[in-house]
């Protein structure tokens, strides 16, 4: 058999063992590679606005904690329970450490929930537009996904949610603030949704951007809303966004009861959160000043950039997060490609009904100004 023939056989054999549902999954889009954009644009200064990272970095205390760990030993496995971090989170939130689950980013916990809860054919309800992993992970295990659209003003549609929840989903993914719009559910809207949710369903409240939204008096603390509920629920949060620890990957969930955490422990890898991440998160959690300053500076830039874009004629969703969702009036793929040529990376949105939108996270003021100028020029000139 020739090498070419052997390659064909191997390719056919590989394809034949992949589950059909996996072959049909949409690919997660992390945004363009900054190195590739640098090569395309010819600039060494690439402005990365695609992943909602903090331009203000992490707490110096977190950096020092990582340095100490590197100086001591990284040859040992991490604490598989993450006990020290779980206790620190529990103390901060006034919940038992036994009701806290840690993940390699909160996305990891989304995946664990699907593995622990869903059977093929189960129904999952989420929002549209929404975080793609709220769809990909359920479909990965053979579940069905129904998306509830936002209103024309990017808000919560109680009638649409009532109808969707009446269909009897087993699991509900709800992000507050919403990714990609940045819009929030008020406390009344969240309470309405909780009341409509079947008692048998697991309600997953994804609060990855909650720290940015807290200065808004209409933003509810999901944990406070759910704390007295006698139903299965879990609130997810992360250290990747406001805490600036995206590179080490650590998130957490606060669950309604110990039994849900125990179920997630059965399907998770035993060392899913590395020790550097655990140490950094404990330190970051204690640096209140750094978090407050990050939230303050981000809020200033969100208002300033959104106002400039609206003044320029763009439709921009109201955002209580660290990113803006912008209707460019042009194909999002084309707009993103043109921005790449100028050294700017954004997320082109491809969800049906939103193909002219891009999502751009906030950077430093001078980078944000350059982005706005470039976007205005590109959209004014239009596709040739």
The 10s digit of each residue's pLDDT in 109-137 is: 999 999 999 999 999 999 999 999 999 99
Polymer length of the chain: 384
Is the same domain home to 105 and 250?
yes
Q: Does 9 reside within a domain?
A: no
Render 152-176 in DSSP notation, one character per residue. Answer: TTS---HHHHHHHHHT--SEEEEES
Q: Does 277 reside within a domain?
A: yes
Domain boundary among 268, 285, 302: 285
Mean pLDDT in the chain?
94
CB 265 within 8 Å of CB 96? no
For the record, the structure tokens of 45 come out as 């200064």
Given a cut of 70, whether residue 1 has pLDDT beyond it is: no
Given a cut of 80, whether residue 239 has pLDDT beyond it is: yes
Given a cut of 90, whether residue 343 has pLDDT beyond it is: yes
Q: Count how many domains the chain has.
A: 2
pLDDT at 53: 97
CATH number at residue 39: 3.90.1150.10
73 vs 262, more confident? 262
Given a cut of 70, whether residue 4 has pLDDT beyond it is: no
CA 157/CA 193 separation, integer angstroms = 10
Given a cut of 80, whether residue 384 has pLDDT beyond it is: no
Q: Taking residues 357-366, report their average pLDDT.
A: 97
pLDDT at 26: 84
CA 15/CA 23 separation, integer angstroms = 9
CA 384/CA 376 separation, integer angstroms = 16
pLDDT > 90 in the chain, percent: 86
pLDDT at 27: 84
Q: Does 10 reside within a domain?
A: no
Is the same domain home to 305 and 281?
no
Strands (E), 176-284: 202-206, 233-238, 251-255
- Residue 218's domain comprises 60-285
- Buried (b) or exposed (e) across 242-279, using 16+ Cβ within 10 A? bbbbbebbbbbbbbbeeebbebbeeebeeebbbbbbbb
The 10s digit of each residue's pLDDT in 288-316 is: 999 999 999 999 999 999 999 999 999 99
Q: Does 12 reside within a domain?
A: no
The 10s digit of each residue's pLDDT in 143-180 is: 999 999 999 999 999 999 999 999 999 999 999 999 99
* Backbone phi, psi, residue 172, to 5°: -125, 125
3-state secondary structure of 104: coil
Is the same domain home to 274 and 336?
no
Is the same domain home to 169 and 298?
no
Is the same domain home to 281 and 293?
no
Question: pTM above 0.75?
Answer: yes
2: confidence class by pLDDT, cuts 50, 70, 90: low
Q: Does 295 reside within a domain?
A: yes
CATH number at residue 176: 3.40.640.10
Is the same domain home to 235 and 316?
no
Domain boundary among 285, 301, 324: 285
Q: Does 238 reside within a domain?
A: yes
15: confidence class by pLDDT, cuts 50, 70, 90: confident
CA 133/CA 144 separation, integer angstroms = 13
Is the same domain home to 162 and 273?
yes
Residues with Cβ within 8 Å of 191's Cβ and at least 6 positions away in sequence, in order, are: 220, 225
Given a cut of 90, whether residue 279 has pLDDT beyond it is: yes
The C-alpha angle 58, 284, 247, rounded to 5 degrees, equals 45
Is the same domain home to 101 and 178?
yes
Domain boundary among 229, 260, 285: 285
Is the same domain home to 278 and 293?
no
Strands (E), the chain: 47-48, 100-103, 123-128, 144-149, 171-175, 202-206, 233-238, 251-255, 315-316, 323-327, 344-345, 347-348, 357-361
pLDDT > 70 in the chain, percent: 96
pLDDT at 30: 85
74: confidence class by pLDDT, cuts 50, 70, 90: confident
Q: Does 237 reside within a domain?
A: yes
Is the same domain home to 71 and 218?
yes
17: confidence class by pLDDT, cuts 50, 70, 90: confident
Q: Does 3 reside within a domain?
A: no
Is the same domain home to 277 and 313?
no
44: confidence class by pLDDT, cuts 50, 70, 90: confident
Is the same domain home to 71 and 159?
yes
Other residues' Cβ atoms within 10 Å of the Cβ of residue 175: 24
pLDDT at 49: 97
The 10s digit of each residue's pLDDT in 212-227 is: 999 999 999 999 999 9
């Amino acid at each position: 058999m020739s090498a070419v023939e052997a390659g064909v056989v191997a390719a056919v054999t590989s394809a034949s063992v992949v589950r059909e549902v996996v072959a049909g999954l949409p690919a997660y889009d992390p945004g363009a590679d900054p190195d590739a954009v640098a090569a395309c644009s010819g600039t060494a200064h690439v402005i990365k606005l695609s992943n909602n990272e903090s331009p203000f970095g992490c707490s110096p205390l977190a950096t020092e904690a990582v340095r100490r760990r590197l100086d001591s030993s990284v040859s040992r496995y991490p604490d598989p329970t993450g006990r020290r971090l779980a206790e620190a989170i529990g103390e901060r939130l006034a919940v038992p450490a036994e009701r806290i689950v840690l993940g390699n980013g909160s996305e990891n916990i989304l995946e664990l929930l699907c593995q622990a809860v869903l059977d093929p054919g189960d129904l999952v309800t989420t929002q549209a537009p929404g975080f793609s992993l709220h769809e990909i992970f359920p479909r990965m295990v053979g579940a069905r996904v129904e998306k509830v659209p936002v209103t024309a003003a990017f808000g919560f549609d109680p009638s649409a949610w009532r109808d969707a929840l009446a269909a009897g989903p087993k699991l509900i993914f709800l992000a507050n603030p919403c990714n990609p719009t940045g819009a929030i559910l008020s406390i009344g809207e969240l309470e309405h949704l909780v009341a409509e949710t079947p008692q048998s369903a697991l309600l997953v409240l994804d609060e990855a951007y909650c720290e940015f939204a807290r200065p808004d008096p209409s933003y509810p603390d999901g944990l406070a809303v759910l704390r007295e509920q006698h139903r299965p629920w879990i609130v997810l949060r992360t250290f990747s966004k406001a805490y600036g620890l995206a590179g080490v990957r650590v998130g957490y969930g606060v669950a309604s009861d110990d039994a849900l955490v125990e179920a997630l422990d059965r399907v998770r890898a035993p060392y899913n959160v590395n020790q550097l991440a655990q140490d950094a998160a404990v330190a970051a959690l204690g640096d209140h000043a750094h978090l407050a300053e990050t939230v303050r500076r981000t809020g200033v830039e969100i208002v300033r950039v959104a106002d400039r874009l609206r003044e320029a004629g763009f439709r921009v969703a109201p955002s209580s997060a660290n990113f803006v969702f912008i209707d460019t009036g042009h194909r999002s793929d084309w707009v993103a490609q043109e921005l790449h040529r100028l050294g700017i990376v954004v997320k082109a949105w491809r969800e049906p009904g939103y193909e002219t939108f891009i999502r751009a996270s906030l950077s430093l003021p001078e980078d944000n100004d350059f982005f706005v100028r470039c976007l205005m020029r590109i959209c004014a000139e239009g596709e040739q």
